[in-house]
């Protein structure tokens, strides 16, 4: 029988647990697996499980938590683009966004083009909600805007409409003067109709009782309260209703989605 | 030529072979199967969890919290070699973490269903009054690294029972606090988020519970080595466990 001294035992088990706990990716081949396309497809299955489960749990149209004015974060961390910059956007800022248009088209019966002032005259909704970033932090802010459901109703969805795509004025990869919706690095996002028509999903123009500032998406941004922050496109100028987003940009339905993040961001 | 065996037989009338240790079936197959799936899953969850944590290595208490708020605990990012994958990649780490979270939950549900149905938890883990009275003695035994022998070794001692039940509670806590970080789930069960003190408190507790699980694993592995790693490992693979004799 092997005799193990206490010291040996302690050293062996500490080394063993260190190895086990360290996630030694080299030994475990986690990196090789991460880079394998077939393994990624296996991991991606979880996204559809999560989405199906949450769709079932949220079938009643449950509302995201809302908070009191006193809960509002003293400083709401902006993320992604802090200022889109570029000649066009800078001019819009100088003009107070009077010439900003929100275009709504795609699979709709009546395409719309609305100014910020016109949006402000439509029925609005205000909500104080928590913004959860995929990185882990949260901030609470008050938002006022037009329910997206109202805009989609006014435009009239055509048969086969499945997703709503939001095009933004910011280019996270760099040159803001590389215009056009399809310019590489342009921020964009998309959501399904269940979230698009949820009462808390709004095109916000006010934050904490004041017009949106540049860092938080002036003049218009999306709020999708039951998903993570990267879904909540800022600087929105164009909303397109589609049946499929595989032909748009990288084909994954959003700027971060084209860079590996999940399209369904309810988790 | 003197023959020692013959001498021994002559002396006592029978061969003085070393008495064979009693071998029992210690762990049932569902416990063994779920144990190893759990071990692999926790290993991946800790590694990918630390990678996710590195995206914002600060913890807060309450509903909200970000860079400009007072942290509950501000840590540094963990070194890459400890994380899965072994480079900073929040998107990939989340793919690992959320996939294996489903495995963890499915495996845990199977374990709980079987262990409650077969009364494994009630019989083998839940401490009785006599077990609880035994706590001080058991603590001293553990400090002196004295392991139970014979009949006592066939059942879990009270500290083992409490540790395994504690691990079970921690894993349930991990799943619940993990779910509370999901904005979709939070719309479904806002009361659970509030019960943990808010989304950021849930994130902090998720980290603290995970730390407690890592501590459990360290102690668990030390105990396995001290109690005889071959025998212990065999019992968790094949189920067969050699009971340490009274005079071993």
Q: Which residues of chain B neighbour A2 with C-beta distances below 8 Å? A: 230
Residue B162: Cβ within 10 Å count: 17
Two tokens, residue A156: 């009239």
C-alpha distance across the termini of chain B, in Å: 32
Q: Domain B23-61+80-242 has what CATH class?
A: mainly alpha
Provide the number of structural domains found in chain A.
2
pLDDT at A28: 73
The answer to whether the beta carbons of residues A69 and A62 sit under 8 Å apart is no
A101 and A31 co-located in one domain: no
A136 and A30 co-located in one domain: no
State how far the Cα of A70 lies from the Cα of A261, in Å rounded to an integer: 33
The answer to whether the beta carbons of residues A237 and A86 sit under 8 Å apart is no
Q: Give tens-digit pLDDT for B43-82.
A: 999 999 999 999 999 999 999 999 989 999 999 999 999 9
Return left, alpha or beta for A174; rule: phi > 0 is left, psi -120 to 50 is alpha, else beta: left
A158 and A183 co-located in one domain: yes
The answer to whether the beta carbons of residues A171 and A153 sit under 8 Å apart is no
Here the ipTM equals 0.88
Q: Which residues of chain B neighbour A77 with C-beta distances below 8 Å? A: 66-68
Residue A177: Cβ within 10 Å count: 12
Any domain includes A17: no
pLDDT at A17: 55
A244 and A170 co-located in one domain: yes
pLDDT at B8: 43
| Boundary residue ending a domain (A40, A57, A74) | A57
Any domain includes A14: no
Question: What residues 58-97 of chain A have any CB closer than 8 A to a CB of chain B?
Answer: 58, 62-65, 67, 71, 73-77
Range of the domain at A35: 22-57
A47 and A141 co-located in one domain: no
Q: DSSP alpha helices (H): ranges in A109-186?
A: 116-121, 148-155
> How far are the Cα atoms of A20, A94, B207 from residue B42, in angstroms, in the given order?
10, 54, 13
Tell me the longest C-alpha to C-alpha distance in chain A.
Answer: 86
Which residues of chain A are under the pLDDT cut of 70?
Answer: 1-27, 174-183
A33 and A120 co-located in one domain: no
Q: Which residues of chain B neighbour A259 with C-beta distances below 8 Å? A: 91
State how far the Cα of A237 lies from the Cα of A255, in Å rounded to an integer: 16
A37 and A110 co-located in one domain: no
Does the beta-carbon distance from B225 to A138 stay under 8 Å? no
Residue B53: Cβ within 10 Å count: 22
CA angle at residue B26 from B21 to B30, to 5 degrees? 155
pLDDT at B147: 87
Q: Which of A23, A65, A256 sits opposite B84 (nearest CB)?
A: A23
Q: Which of B217, B222, B230 sits opposite A21 (nearest CB)?
A: B217
Two tokens, residue A181: 């919706």
The answer to whether the beta carbons of residues A188 and A236 sit under 8 Å apart is no
State how far the Cα of A186 lies from the Cα of A80, in Å rounded to an integer: 12
A46 and A100 co-located in one domain: no
A130 and A82 co-located in one domain: yes
Any domain includes A106: yes
> How far are the Cα atoms of A135, B30, B194, B201 from residue B118, in angstroms, in the given order?
42, 10, 35, 36
Domain range summary for chain B, segments of one domain joined by +: 23-61+80-242
- Tens-digit pLDDT profile for chain B (248 aa)? 445 444 444 445 555 556 678 999 999 999 999 999 999 999 999 999 999 999 999 999 999 999 989 999 999 999 999 999 999 999 999 999 999 999 999 999 999 999 999 999 999 999 999 999 999 999 999 999 888 888 889 999 999 999 999 999 999 999 999 999 999 999 999 999 999 999 999 999 999 999 999 999 999 999 999 999 999 999 999 999 999 887 65
Any domain includes A220: yes
A214 and A101 co-located in one domain: yes
Q: Give tens-digit pLDDT for B209-239.
A: 999 999 999 999 999 999 999 999 999 999 9
* Peptide bond just before A219 cis, omega within 30 deg: yes
A215 and A171 co-located in one domain: yes
A27 and A150 co-located in one domain: no
Does the beta-carbon distance from A136 to B190 stay under 8 Å? no
Any domain includes A72: yes
What are the residues facing A202 on neighbouring strands? A147, A223
A interface mutation test: which of B42, B46, B58, B66 has the most A CBs within 10 A?
B66
State how far the Cα of B3 lies from the Cα of A238, in Å rounded to an integer: 99
Any domain includes A4: no
CATH of the domain at A93: 3.90.420.10
């Amino acid at each position: 029988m092997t005799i193990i001294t206490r010291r040996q035992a302690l050293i062996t088990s500490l080394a063993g647990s260190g190895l086990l706990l360290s996630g030694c990716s080299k030994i475990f081949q986690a990196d090789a697996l991460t880079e394998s396309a077939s393994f990624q497809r296996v991991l991606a299955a979880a996204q559809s499980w999560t989405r199906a489960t949450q769709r079932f749990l949220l079938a009643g149209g449950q509302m995201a938590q809302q908070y009191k004015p006193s809960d509002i974060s003293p400083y709401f961390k902006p993320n992604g683009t802090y200022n889109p910059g570029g000649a066009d956007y800078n001019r819009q800022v100088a003009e107070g966004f009077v010439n900003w248009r929100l275009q709504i088209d795609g699979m709709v019966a009546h395409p719309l083009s609305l100014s910020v002032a016109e949006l402000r005259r439509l029925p609005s909704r205000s909500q104080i909600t928590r913004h959860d970033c995929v990185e882990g932090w949260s901030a609470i802010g008050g938002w006022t805007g037009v329910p997206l459901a109202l805009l989609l109703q006014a435009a009239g969805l055509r048969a086969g409409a499945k997703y709503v795509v939001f095009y933004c004025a910011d280019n996270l990869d760099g040159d803001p003067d590389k215009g056009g919706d399809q310019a590489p690095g342009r921020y964009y996002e998309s959501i399904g109709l269940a979230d698009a028509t949820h009462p808390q999903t709004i095109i916000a123009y006010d934050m904490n009782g004041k017009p949106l500032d540049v860092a938080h998406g002036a003049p218009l941004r999306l709020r999708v309260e039951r998903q993570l922050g990267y879904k909540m496109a800022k600087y929105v100028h164009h909303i397109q209703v589609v049946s499929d987003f595989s032909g748009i940009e990288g084909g994954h339905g959003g700027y971060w989605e084209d860079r590996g993040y999940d399209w369904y961001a309810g988790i | 030529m003197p023959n020692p065996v013959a001498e021994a037989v002559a002396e006592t009338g029978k061969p003085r072979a070393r008495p064979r240790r009693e071998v029992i079936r210690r762990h049932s197959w569902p416990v063994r199967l779920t144990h190893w799936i759990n071990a692999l899953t926790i290993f991946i969850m800790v590694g990918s969890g630390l990678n996710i944590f590195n995206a914002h290595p600060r913890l807060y208490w309450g509903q909200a919290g970000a860079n400009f708020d007072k942290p509950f605990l501000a840590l540094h990012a963990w070194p890459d070699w400890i994380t899965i994958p072994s480079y900073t990649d929040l998107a990939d780490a989340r793919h690992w973490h959320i996939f294996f979270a489903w495995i963890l939950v499915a495996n845990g549900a199977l374990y709980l269903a079987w262990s409650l149905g077969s009364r494994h938890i009630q019989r083998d883990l839940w401490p009785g009054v006599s077990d609880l009275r035994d706590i001080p003695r058991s603590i001293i035994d553990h400090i002196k690294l004295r392991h139970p022998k014979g009949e006592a070794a066939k059942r879990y001692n009270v500290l083992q029972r409490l540790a395994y039940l504690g691990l079970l509670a921690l894993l349930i806590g991990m799943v619940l606090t993990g779910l509370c970080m999901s904005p979709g789930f939070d719309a479904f069960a806002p009361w659970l988020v509030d019960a943990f003190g808010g989304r950021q408190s849930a994130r902090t507790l998720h980290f603290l519970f995970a730390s407690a699980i890592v501590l459990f694993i360290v102690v668990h592995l030390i105990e396995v080595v001290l109690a005889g790693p071959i025998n212990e490992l065999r019992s968790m693979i094949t189920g067969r466990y050699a009971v340490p004799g009274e005079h071993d």
